[in-house]
Amino acid sequence: MATMRSSCLIIISLLVLGSLSAFAWTFIKPMDVNDPRVIEIANFAITELNHKSNTNLKLVKIESCVTQVLGVVGYNYQLVLLASNGTTGETNKYWVGLGIQLAIRASKL
Ligand SMILES: *[C@@H]1O[C@H](CO)[C@@H](O)[C@H](O)[C@H]1NC(C)=O
């Protein structure tokens, strides 16, 4: 019985450590601005911004893109974009952050 209890304790503490470290490891990875995924995300961001704030921005250029990995929780893209105002034609620089959450569910059957 005593050995059973201690092995349970060990398993629990490993799980706690495991989930803490899963949240703790984050790193930033630069992305190639010509990567089709980056272009897709930039276009998606502009479309969403236009939709949400009722603007008419047009993507001119992707200046930079990094992905920030947040353990197993998800990751986000951080982009610096040049976009022109569809009304005035004025080009401005925008910072865009887009989070992608990895949803994992498990249930005991
Ligand atoms: C675009 O220009 C119009 C007219 O000046 C302005 O009202 C609008 O706020 C501008 N949009 C953005 C996203 O800056």
Q: What pLDDT sits at residue 79?
A: 93
pLDDT of residue 71: 74
Beta carbons within 10 angstroms of residue 69's beta carbon: 14
Cβ(59)–Cβ(65) under 8 Å? no
pTM for this one?
Answer: 0.68
pLDDT of residue 21: 54
Cα 58 to ligand 1 centroid, rounded to whole Å = 12
> What integer pLDDT is reported at residue 73 of this predicted model?
75
Is residue 87 within 6 Å of ligand 1 at its C-beta? yes
Distance in Å, CA 43 to ligand 1 centroid: 19
Average pLDDT, consecutive stretches of 10 residues, N- to C-terminus, the chain (109 residues): 54 52 70 94 92 92 92 84 93 89 76
Q: Given ligand 1 and candidates 55, 60, 82, 93, which is best to mutate, with the most ligand atoms within 8 Å of its CB?
A: 55
Predicted pLDDT of residue 51: 92
pLDDT of residue 40: 93
Write down all domains in the chain, each with its CATH number in brackets: 25-101 (3.10.450.10)
Nearest to 79 by CA among 91, 70, 90, 68: 68
Between CA 15 and CA 7 the distance in angstroms is 12
Tokens of 91: 């080009």
Dihedral of alpha carbons 93, 99, 78, 59, sign:
negative
Cβ density class 7-40: b for 16+ within 10 Å, e for less: eeeeeeeeeeeeeeeeeeeeeeeebebeeeebee
Kindly state if the Cβ of 57 falls inside 6 Å of ligand 1.
Answer: yes
| DSSP 8-state code for residue 103 | P
